[in-house]
Amino acid sequence: MNVKDVLKSLKTSERGLSEKEVNRRLERYGRNKIKEIYRINPIKIFFKQFTNFLIYILLVGIIISVLIKRYIDASVISAIVLMNATLGFIQQYKAEKSILKLRQIFIPKAKVFRDGKLEVIPSQNIVPGDIILYEEGDKVLADSRILEAENLEVNEAILTGESNPIEKLDTIIKQDGLLHERLNMLFSGTTIVKGKVTAIVTETGMSTELGRIALKLQEIKLPETPMQKKLDKFAKQISFIVIILAVLIFILGVTQGKDKIEMLLTGIALVISAIPEGLPAIITISLAISTKKMLKNNVLIRRLPAAETLGSVTVICSDKTGTITEEKMFVTDVFCNNKFFKNTKAGVISENKSTNLQKEKELFNLVKTSILSSNARFEQQDNEYKVIGDPTETAFLSFALELGIDRKILTEIEPRIKEISFSSERKMMSILRDGIRRKILYSKGSPSSILEKSAFEFKNDGISCLSQKRKQEILKIAENFEKKGLRVLAFSYKYTNSEKTLESGLIFAGLIGLLDPPRKEVKLAMELCKKAGIKVKMITGDSLLTAEKVGEEIGIKGKVIGGRELEEMTDEELLEDIDNMAIFARISPQQKLRIVEILKRKGEEVAITGDGINDILALKRADIGVAMGKRGSDIARDVSDMILLDDNFSSIVKGIEEGRIVYDNSKKATKFLLASNFDEMLIIAYTLLFNLPLPILPLQILWINLVTDAFPALALINEKGEGVMESKPRKEKSILNGIFSFVLIAGIVSAISSLIIYHYGLTISLEKARTMVMLATVGFEVFFIFSCRSSRSLKEIGLFSNRYIWYAVGFIIIAQLALIFTPLSSVFYITSLTLKEYFFIFIASIPGLLVFEAWKMIKKK
């Protein structure tokens, strides 16, 4: 079809649809989104809980118990297996639900024409017939037919597998070819890699080409984090050791004439107790909780491992504009016709006098060039102007509106013909327009790039030749602007009848300086990074002087290096000196990637920010790729690990802090689980070595494991951070680093307490001794959990600062009361005790807390 027929077929116009028609079509076609084909399958998750090594051991125990007709033992072990599976199911179900929610949070925005006005709307509200505008880096949000295209190239790899960009055209295709042959169509999910396009939406949601293959894109995976991999390796190693010890205990017990079945079940129970099988699930929950907290700080984690990896970041490479600065650009200084103009609240002044725009033709010409070489536009809503577009370009447009210059009128007089897009090599862009008598090219870019292409200057109501000496004078003026921390752009224009060699022989119009002040909170975030041992490097396309001034204001100290200087350095020279470099200015995307590569060669964990299509390689290569939520391109967000919803540097620092808290809390849970179960192995080994009766029975071991493992460990991962940003980034090879001695001492203290109560109980009866040992072991873990909360004393952190600890303690106490005072007591061989005996159990329960709290206080002194 030709464009006219397409518009007619979809019952729309180039002005777009009315709001009334949009609402009608939303009802008819539904929201523009791919339906979630993946569904969390509770049954599948539940049965997955039975597919681990430890459950297999318990199942063997059940089978053996049934074969030898010990049905009570079989029933109890079965109940424990089911309870463990239920707890595991709840944990994983919650984690998957959290991750699924996170995937749905970031809804892309689309620029569409509605009633002739350009609006920015959520992509879900796009309907067939909408006129939509895409630029370089945007993701195509619905299947569309091209109306107008300039230098358009699209990456369709997601649909066709073809990695090379495809050139697209606003033309008629005579035959209905294969997908990659439909050169006048854009397909949902593909990406604009070059150029600009206006298109009309033909299909949305599940009716798009992407919707038809949505099943492949809806798979959800919970990737293993580096910590989980360490834990998995650690669990396998400890499992091997524990199984050998359990076998030795079994052999030793049998040689002493103890019941073989009793010893077999004891061995199985010890294996279950000593191996922290719940840790990987607890880490997943910890990361899911952390991602929710990060979201409150405007950090959206796209991949779960990133939440943990953030905690080990040693270098942040950050953009300047919009991340470190506010990106609320406004024009402050203007130079043209050898005059300096200042934009103040009182208006534009020159030499302390108000400016008359009608008398200042050169100023009018410069402002006109700035808005006609830009794509920003405005709409009037409720007597207010709403400006849409790139922040730099919107600043020019706002400045023009303040001066009473209406871009809409100018663009109607001089309609657009084509655009020569900005490139990092040329450092400029141009728009060719159709003037009244001839074509006019309007250009903007860096002062050096524009002056290099300029041969003339517009001043004193006429055009004069631009000498090399004059160019140097103008560059010096631009440099002085930059010293004030301004971003400086130069402008030129040219009348032409030909479209060949457009960007040459230009007429220089002037300079405009824009101020983009640093965010107030960034300076504090920089100080926090310094305390935390994290190096911050600013990477920007702005000039050295502008970057240096901003760096000075926020506290970035170190060598400032430009793109040309960097280009001349070898990798070896850069590797040697990169630690001293703090600010990289006039940097190209390829150089950005090189900086990341060199830092990684030095062994740094690198987080890097990026917002454009050219940043993709650096974002993918870094340990943490950080995309911008507001100004970032869709393709940059797609390859990133996390998205800053507010584009704010300080949000990265908050994310790093949360990542460190995750790791610290995971270590707390690890040391609690290892230490609390180590003592059972020790007391059984002791009684076998001295040929004493077993101090605790298999079912009792399983009960202890059931009530004291999951809930306390989950409570510990909710601890608040304590001075995590006052220590250097971690470089630990093992999860046991720094906690091994704690685990060992805790196990020994617990074992001594249990053995003292055991020997006391034996003076009364074996049943009482076993009951007291079991209750004392659980009691020890109830008190011990408070010691695992922090390296600081309870007095410093506060007894009630983590309510989840008290929920866990409450659960254990209720479970213990149910065990003692219900028929469960006979199943687990629990006998009645006197108040005196309960008092002794209480005394045997508190050594762990007392020993470690005393040690913390001594250490502090």
| Interval 368-418: pLDDT, tens | 999 999 988 887 766 677 788 888 899 999 999 999 999 989 999 999 988
* Residues 420-439, mean pLDDT to the nearest whole number: 88
Max CA separation in the chain (angstroms): 114
Contact 677, 274 (CB under 8 A): yes
Contact 804, 718 (CB under 8 A): yes
- The model's confidence at residue 159, banded by pLDDT at 50, 70 and 90, is confident
Q: Domain extents for the chain?
A: 1-222, 246-293+657-725+735-860, 299-325+518-647, 330-515
**CA dihedral angle for residue 556, residue 559, residue 562, residue 564, rounded to 10 degrees:** -160
Whether the predicted pLDDT of 226 surpasses 80: no
Query: 736 or 782: which carries more pLDDT confidence?
Result: 782
Whether the predicted pLDDT of 553 surpasses 70: yes
Catalytic residue among 319, 542, 623, 641: 319
Pairing relationship of beta strands 131-135 and 428-434 according to DSSP bridges: unpaired
Q: What class has domain 1-222?
A: mainly beta
Contact 402, 363 (CB under 8 A): no
* Residues 135-160, mean pLDDT to the nearest whole number: 86
Q: Which CATH topology does 330-515 take?
A: Calcium-transporting ATPase, cytoplasmic domain N (3.40.1110)
Strand partners, 335: 340, 511
* Residues 448-454, mean pLDDT to the nearest whole number: 95
pLDDT at 600: 93
For residue 352, the SS3 value is coil
Give how far the C-alpha of residue 185 lies from the chain's centroid of Cα atoms, to the nearest Å: 33
- The model's confidence at residue 65, banded by pLDDT at 50, 70 and 90, is confident
**Pairwise CA distance, residues 560 & 590, whole Å:** 18
Cα separation values, 48 from 45, 75, 223, 242, 330, Å = 5, 21, 16, 24, 58
pLDDT at 287: 76
Least confident of 119-133, 145-159, 173-187, 469-483: 173-187
**Pairwise CA distance, residues 140 & 110, whole Å:** 9
Query: 542 or 570: which carries more pLDDT confidence?
Result: 570
Query: 316 or 689: which carries more pLDDT confidence?
Result: 316
**CA dihedral angle for residue 562, residue 568, residue 573, residue 579, rounded to 10 degrees:** 10
pLDDT at 216: 46
What percent of the chain shows pLDDT beyond 90? 40
Question: Which DSSP helix (H) or strand (E) runs through 445?
Answer: strand 439-445
What percent of the chain shows pLDDT beyond 70? 90
pLDDT at 446: 93
**Pairwise CA distance, residues 18 & 797, whole Å:** 59
- The model's confidence at residue 219, banded by pLDDT at 50, 70 and 90, is very low
Whether the predicted pLDDT of 606 surpasses 90: yes
Sign, CA torsion 749/754/755/756? positive
Query: 273 or 108: which carries more pLDDT confidence?
Result: 108
Residue found by looking up tokens 């967000």 in the block: 637
Encode pLDDT of 592-603 as tens digits: 999 999 999 999
Contact 294, 658 (CB under 8 A): yes
- The model's confidence at residue 346, banded by pLDDT at 50, 70 and 90, is confident
Sign, CA torsion 460/463/467/472? positive
Residue found by looking up tokens 């019952």 in the block: 11
Most confident of 32-36, 419-423, 757-761: 757-761
* Residues 420-442, mean pLDDT to the nearest whole number: 89
Q: Is 702 exposed, middle or buried (0-12, 13-18, 19+ CB in 10 A)?
A: buried
* Residues 13-22, mean pLDDT to the nearest whole number: 91
Least confident of 76-85, 105-114, 320-329: 76-85
pLDDT at 832: 93
Q: Is 200 exposed, middle or buried (0-12, 13-18, 19+ CB in 10 A)?
A: buried
- Determine whether domain 299-325+518-647 maps to CATH 3.40.50.1000: yes
Least confident of 67-71, 169-173, 559-563, 639-643: 67-71
Least confident of 15-24, 628-637, 692-701: 628-637
* Residues 448-468, mean pLDDT to the nearest whole number: 93
pLDDT at 217: 41
Quick check: is 319 catalytic? yes
**Pairwise CA distance, residues 359 & 804, whole Å:** 72
Residue 442 one-letter amino acid: Y
| Global confidence as pTM | 0.74
- The model's confidence at residue 538, banded by pLDDT at 50, 70 and 90, is very high
- The model's confidence at residue 754, banded by pLDDT at 50, 70 and 90, is very high
Contact 235, 55 (CB under 8 A): no
Query: 42 or 176: which carries more pLDDT confidence?
Result: 42
Query: 720 or 466: which carries more pLDDT confidence?
Result: 466
pLDDT at 157: 72
Question: Taking the domain 246-293+657-725+735-860, which CATH number applies?
Answer: 1.20.1110.10
For residue 306, the SS3 value is helix
pLDDT at 220: 40
pLDDT at 106: 64
pLDDT at 93: 74
pLDDT at 578: 95
Contact 223, 174 (CB under 8 A): no
pLDDT at 211: 78
Whether the predicted pLDDT of 728 surpasses 90: no
